[in-house]
Structure 1
Amino acid sequence: MTGHARLSIAAWGATVLGSLVLTPVFSGPFLFISAFLCAVVTGTGVLLQNLRTPRIVVPIVQLFVLVELLSLFFLHGTMKFGLIPWKGTVVEFNSQMVDAMDSINRFSAPLPQDTHLTLFAVSVIAATGFLVHVIAVQLRQAAWSGLLLLIMYTVPAATVHGGLPALLFIPPAIGYIVLLSAEGRSRLSRWGRRISGVSHLDAAEPVEASALGQAGRRIGLTVVAIAALLPALLPALPEGVIGNGLAGGGTGNGIGASISSTDPMLDMGKNLKRGDNVVALTYKGGPSGGSYLRLTALDLFDGNTWRIAPRSDGHKISGDLTPPPGYTGDLTKVPQTSMEIDVTRTFRSQFVPVPYPLRSISLKKDWQYDAGSLDVVSTNGSIVGGKKYKLTSYDLEPTPEQLHDSITTGAPDEYTLTVPQKTPQDIKQKTYEITGAAANNKFEAAVLIQNWFRSGGGFTYSTANAKGSGMSALEDFLLKNKEGYCEQFATGMALMARIIGIPSRVGIGFLPGQAGKDGEYTVRMHDMHAWPELYFEGIGWVRFEPTPSARVSATPNWTVTTSGDPTSPTTAPTSVATTPGGAETPGIDKPRHDPNLPDQSGIPIVGSGNWFTNGGGQVIAGGLGVILLLCIPWLIRVLTRRRRFLRPPGRQAAEGLWAEVRDTARDLGLDWSEVSTPRQTGQWLMTKLPEETHPAARRLARGIEGLRYAGNANLDIDLRPEATAVRTALWSQAPARRRWRARLLPPSWRWYLSRGSTEASDLLDEFDLLLARLRSLALPKRPHTN
Structure 2
Amino acid sequence: MTGHVRISLAAWGATVLGSLVLTPVFSGPFLFISAFLCGAITGVGILLQNLRTPRFLIPFVQLAVLVELISFFFLRDTLKFGLVPWRETALEFNQQMVNAMDSINRFSAPLPPDSHLTLFAVSVIAATGLLIHVIAVQISQAAWAGLLLLIMYTVPAATVHGGLPALLFIPPAIGYIVLLSAEGRTRLSRWGRRISGVSHLDAAEPVEASALGQAGRRIGLSVVALAALLPALLPALPEGVLGNGLAGSGVGDGAGASISATDPMLDMGKNLKRGDNVTALTYTGGPDKGVYLRLTALDLFDGNTWRISPRQDGRKITGDLTPPPGFTGDLGKVQTTKMQIDVSRSFRSQFAPVPYPLHSISLKNRWRYDVSALDVVSSNGQVVGGQKYSLTAYDLQPTPQQLFDSVPGGEPDQYTSQIPRSIDKRITALANALTKDAKGNHFEQAAMLQKWFRNDGGFTYSTDASPQSGMRALSAFLFDNKTGYCEQFATGMALMARTLNIPSRVAIGFLPGQAGKNGEHIVRMHDMHAWPELYFQGVGWVRFEPTPSARVASTPTWTDSAGTVTEAPTTAPTTAPTTPGAAESPDISKPQNPRDLPGGDSGAVIDTGNWFTNGGGKAIGVTAGVILLLCIPWLIRALIRRKRFARAPGRAGVEGLWAEIRDTARDLGLDWSDTATPRQLGEWLLSKVPEDAQSQALRLARGVEAVRYAGLSDLQVDLRAEAATVRKALWNQTKLTRRWRARLLPPSWRWYLNRGSTEASDLLDEFDLALARLRSFVLPHRSGRHAN
Query: Displacement of 1:513 after TM fit?
Result: 12
In 1, distance between residues paired with 2:670 and 2:676? 14
2:177 alignment counterpart? 177
AA aligned to 1:41 is I
Q: Which residue of 2 aligns with 1:40?
A: 40
**Mean CA deviation greater in 723-732 or 206-215:** 723-732
Report what 2:285 is aligned to: 326
- The offset of 1:465, in angstroms, is 8.5
Equivalents in 2 of 1:179, 1:103: separation in Å? Answer: 34
| Cα offset, 1:687, TM superposition | 5.3
Q: 1:378 aligned to 341, 346, 351, which one?
A: 346
Match of 2:752 in 1: 755
Structure 2 equivalent of residue 569 of structure 1: 559
Q: CA deviation at 1:115?
A: 1.4
Unaligned runs of 5+ in 2: 249-255, 293-304, 308-338, 372-391, 418-449, 463-483, 492-505, 513-517, 524-530, 546-555, 564-581, 593-600, 777-781
Identify the residue that residue 99 of structure 1 maps to in structure 2.
99
Q: Does the 8 Å contact 2:668/2:731 carry over to 1?
A: no
Once the two structures are superposed, residues 452-506 of structure 1 have per-residue CA deviations (whole angstroms, 9 ceiling, x without a partner) of 9x9699673446389xxxxxxxxxxxxxxxxxxxxxxxxxxxxxxxxxxxxxxxx
Asked if 1:464 corresponds to 2:415, the answer is yes
User: Structure 1: how far apart are the matches of 2:590 and 2:220?
Assistant: 71
Residue pair 1:25, 1:111 contacting (<8 A) in 2 also: yes
Residue 64 of structure 1 pairs with residue 64 of structure 2: yes
- Per the alignment, residue 612 of structure 1 pairs with 612
Cα distance in 2 between the residues matched to 1:552 and 1:279? 24
Distance, in Å, in 2 between the alignment partners of 1:457 and 1:418 is: 38
Change (3 A) 1:615 1:382: farther
Which secondary structure does the structure 2 equivalent of 1:61 belong to? Answer: helix
State the match for 1:764 in structure 2.
Answer: 761
Q: Report the TM-score, using the length of structure 1 for normalisation.
A: 0.60
SS at match of 1:529: strand
Find the counterpart in structure 1 of residue 706 from structure 2: 706
Which AA in structure 2 matches 1:524? E
8 Å CA contact retained: 1:9, 1:42: yes
Deviations 1:621-679 (A, max 9, x none): 33433443444344333322322223233222111122233444555676655454333
Instruction: Give the letter aligned to residue 127 of structure 1.
Output: A
How far apart, in 2, do the equivalents of 1:542 and 1:694 lie?
A: 77
Query: Separation in 1 of the partners of 2:395 and 2:673?
Result: 95
Seen in structure 2, the aligned counterparts of structure 1 residues 656 and 726 have a Cα distance that, compared at 3 Å, is same
Which whole-Å CA distance do the structure 2 matches of 1:719 and 1:532 have between them?
76
Does the Cα contact within 8 Å between 2:688 and 2:730 map onto a contact in 1? no
Letter in 2 for 1:378: S
State how far apart, in whole Å, the 2-side matches of 1:663 and 1:533 are. Answer: 65
Of 516, 531, 535 in structure 2, the residue corresponding to residue 548 of structure 1 is 535
Whole-Å Cα distance in 1 between the matches of residues 590 and 157 of structure 2?
A: 53
Inter-CA distance 161–144: structure 2 relative to 1 (3 Å threshold):
same
8 Å CA contact 2:287–2:583 kept in 1: the answer is: no
Q: Measured at CA, do residues 512 and 615 of structure 1 come closer, stay the same or move farther in structure 2, by a change above 3 Å?
A: farther
User: 1:761 offset after TM fit, Å?
Assistant: 1.3
Q: Distance in 2 between matches of 1:42 and 1:613?
A: 59
Shift of residue 382, structure 1, vs aligned partner: 12
State the SS of the aligned residue for 2:784.
coil
Partner letter of residue 200 of structure 2?
L
Q: Which residue of 2 aligns with 1:215?
A: 215
Partner in structure 1 of residue 298 of structure 2: none
Aligned in 2, Cα 1:114/1:594: closer, same or farther, shift over 3 Å? Answer: closer
Query: What does residue 309 of structure 1 align with?
Result: none
Counterpart of 1:781 in structure 2 is: 783
Q: CA deviation at 1:148?
A: 2.9
CA change 1:203–1:449 in 2 (3 A) is same
Describe the superposition over 1:560-590 as per-residue Cα deviations: whole angstroms up to 9, x where unpaired: xxxxxx99434769xxxxxxxxxxxxxxxx9
- The aligned residue for residue 255 of structure 1 is none
Cα drift, residue 693 of structure 1: 5.1
How far has the Cα of 1:43 moved from its partner?
1.6
**Number of residue-to-residue matches in the alignment:** 578
Structure 2 counterpart of 1:139? 139
Q: Distance in 2 between matches of 1:602 and 1:167?
A: 41
Q: How far does the alpha carbon of each residue in 1:54-81 deviate from its partner, in whole angstroms, 9 at most, with x for none?
A: 4344334333332332233223344445
Whole-Å Cα distance in 1 between the matches of residues 366 and 412 of structure 2?
Answer: 27
What is the CA deviation profile of residues 509-551 of structure 1, one whole-angstrom value per residue up to 9, with x for unaligned ones? xx999546466671118655169999xxx98999999962499
What residue in structure 1 maps to residue 295 of structure 2?
none
Once residues 195 and 216 of structure 1 are traced to their aligned partners in structure 2, the CA distance between those partners, rounded to angstroms, is 17
TM-score (norm 2): 0.60
Aligned partners of 1:207, 1:591: CA distance in 2, in Å?
Answer: 88
Report the equivalent of 1:657: 657
Q: 1:591 to 1:157 in 2, by over 3 A?
A: farther
Looking at structure 1, the residues matched to 452 and 644 of structure 2 have their Cα atoms a distance apart, in angstroms, of: 67
CA distance in 1, matches of 2:97, 2:73: 15
SS in 2 for 1:7: helix
SS at match of 1:548: strand
- Cα separation, partners in 2 of 1:160 and 1:672, compared to 1, 3 Å: closer
1:732, 1:131 → 2: CA distance? 59
> Structure 1: which amino acid aligns with 2:38?
C
Matches within 5 A, 1:381-392: none
Contact 1:177 / 1:220 at 8 angstroms: preserved in 2?
Answer: yes
Q: Distance in 2 between matches of 1:669 and 1:623?
A: 29
Contact 1:55 1:138 in 2 (8 A): yes
Specify whether residues 31 and 148 from structure 1 end up closer, same or farther in structure 2 by C-alpha distance, changes over 3 A only: same
Q: Percent identity?
A: 51
8 Å contact kept, 2:26–2:110:
yes
Within a 5 Å distance, the mapping from 1:286-685 to structure 2 comes to 324-326=283-285, 372-373=340-341, 375-376=343-344, 378=346, 414-415=362-363, 460-462=411-413, 464=415, 515=454, 517=459, 522-524=485-487, 528-529=506-507, 548-549=535-536, 568-570=558-560, 593=585, 608-664=608-664, 672-685=672-685
**Contact in 2 for aligned 1:279/1:523 (Cα 8 Å):** no
- d(CA) in 2 for partners of 1:48, 1:603: 74
Deviation (angstroms), 1:282: 6.9
Report the Cα distance in structure 1 between the residues aligned to 2:135 and 2:258, rounded to whole angstroms.
Answer: 38
**Which residue is equivalent to 1:190?**
190
Whether contact under 8 Å (1:280, 1:347) holds in the other structure is no
Q: Distance in 2 between matches of 1:213 and 1:108?
A: 43
- Partner-residue secondary structure (3-state), 2:486: strand
Contact 1:200–1:769, Cα closer than 8 Å, also in 2: no
Cα distance, 1:190 vs. partner?
3.2
Report the CA distance shift for 1:347/1:161 in structure 2 as closer, same or farther (over 3 A): farther
Q: Secondary structure at the match of 2:743?
A: coil
Q: 1:190 to 1:554 in 2, by over 3 A?
A: closer
Partner Cα distance (1:277, 1:24) in 2? 18
* Partner Cα distance (1:682, 1:174) in 2: 48
1:182 and 1:771 mapped to 2: Cα distance? Answer: 15
- The Cα offsets for residues 721-747 of structure 1, whole Å up to 9 and x where unpaired, read as 542563476279647x64x96478438
CA spacing shift, 1:140–1:443, aligned 2, 3 Å: closer
Partners of 2:522 and 2:691 lie apart in 1 by 94
Structure 2 residue identity aligned to 1:30: F
1:216 corresponds to which letter in structure 2?
G
Q: For residues 572 and 259 of structure 1, do their structure 2 counterparts lie closer, same or farther at Cα, with a shift above 3 Å needed?
A: farther
Is the contact between residue 71 and residue 79 of structure 2 (CA under 8 Å) also seen in structure 1? yes
Distance 1:221 1:524, change over 3 A: same
Taking the aligned partners of 2:615 and 2:749, their CA distance within structure 1 comes to 37
Alignment partners' CA distance in 2, 1:603 and 1:102: 40
Residue 74 of structure 2 aligns with which residue? 74
SS at match of 2:715: coil
Distance 1:702 1:530, change over 3 A: closer
- 2:94 partner SS: helix
The corresponding residue for 2:716 is 717
Q: Using the alignment, how far apart are the partners of 1:598 and 1:219 within structure 2?
A: 61
* 1:699 partner amino acid: R
